Amino acid sequence: MVQDATKICTLLHSLTKLNTRFVHSDGHVVFQLIQNKVSWLFPGDEEEPRIMNQTLRNHPPHSFYYYINTYGLEYIAAGIWKDGEFLGSISIGPFLSSIPASEFIRTIISKNKLPISDRKQLQEFYHGLTVLSSTDSNSLGDLLVNLCSHPHIDSQLITTELIQQNQVQKPKPYSIDETKEVIELRYHYEKKLMDAITKGNKEELIPVLNASNSILNFADRVPESPIRSAKNISFTVNTLCRIAAERGGVHPVQIHMISEKFAILIERAPNLPYLKELLSVMTMEYCDMVKTYSTQHLSPIVKKAVNYITFHLEKPLTLTSIAKELGMNPSHLSRKFKAETTMSVIDFINHKRIEEAKFYLKQGDVSITDIAFMTGFSDVNYFSRVFKKWTSLTPTEYSKTKTAAD
């Protein structure tokens, strides 16, 4: 049974590029293939295999279970039966049935009481998931039921006789000087691209993008598949951007999420024009991330404090609590923080919280009270005063202005 289930999981994972797993009847995971890692973002999902098993056990063997958890993640599962006995299940997912809008992300955060500071990571994760139509998901369920209903049979390949080409395509002749010049040019632009991202400088990045043919024109590497060649080079550019962002002082968690998103988008790219546009979007987004989140110019002490604040905005934060958490003297931290950021610790916290609040106010469908609590303010009036200090508008005025502009 285990061998058959493993082969079915491998087959489905290869075809769908979705996570697949075989769960024993007692609820423990026997085998799984992972495309999207979800556990660190969504705690408390260890009961899901048991829930799926219990549902399938109570329904006829030809049933499949379309399961949606509290995080909006969708799965399809079918049971493995033998002589009327339920032996376990195979599940596929997560995937989505529609493109996740901002309202969807907000609802997930609110419903599951997730940290508001995880919003950007959640956006990157959800936008990287496969979206399946109802027809596709039903077909997938039907396929899964049929695969689980019979013992796996190893197939035998039969093919027509291969036609040998009379002439082997020769690579284009290049002189040593010409090849050297092209290679040097590519490395020159790669260095300029990384330097621009490391500094978060879009003005330096734009001319590099205008000369992007020098980076992406590697079609001769895979002559029979230019798009495969372009995708391979795009993966390389994504890696260069990651390295540059890290040099620019961005936290690895933030780098990881944007890198994973673009890796998925690159692989799904349908054509060369799309890839060229994606290159521009990707490098610009890395540049923005460095400009927004870089801690390169900060001392190790202040850098730790900034990272702690960024990842814990929804918690009660004070100078004393942060200093205690990081094992620092509050007075020393306060002086260093003000000297290096030009803001007090409390002003910095409030600034970050107001930036998060702006995002929700733009949606126009969340109460100001809810937004205040979601972004770490325990008092709505205080939230309003702080908001006006940073934006010159009350939360209501800001919401109306942005809604009208949209």
- Check residue 186 and give its pLDDT: 79
Residue ranges per structural domain of the chain: 2-148, 176-293, 300-405
State yes or no: pLDDT of 110 exceeds 90. no
Strand order in the sheet with 20-24: 29-33, 20-24, 85-95, 74-82, 64-68
Quick one: how far is CA 389 from the chain centroid? 33
300-310 helix and 345-363 helix, angle to the nearest 10 degrees: 30
Domain 2-148 has CATH 3.30.450: yes
- Check residue 64 and give its pLDDT: 95
Token pair of 376 as six digits: 């770490």
Give every CB contact of residue 210 below 8 A, 6+ residues apart in sequence: none
User: Is residue 284 within 8 Å of 205, Cβ to Cβ?
Assistant: yes
- Check residue 219 and give its pLDDT: 47
Tell me the pLDDT tens digit for each residue of 377-404.
888 999 999 999 999 999 988 887 765 5
134-148 helix and 2-16 helix, angle to the nearest 10 degrees: 160
226-247 helix and 176-199 helix, angle to the nearest 10 degrees: 40
- Average pLDDT of 129-156? 89
- Check residue 92 and give its pLDDT: 94
- Check residue 145 and give its pLDDT: 94
Output the pTM of the full model.
0.61
- Domain 300-405: give its CATH code: 1.10.10.60
d(C-alpha 387, C-alpha 176), whole Å: 63
* Same-fold call for 2-148 versus 300-405: no
State yes or no: pLDDT of 209 exceeds 90. no
Tokens 């493993």 sit at which residue?
A: 6
**Most confidently modeled of 69-73, 255-259, 267-271, 363-367?**
69-73
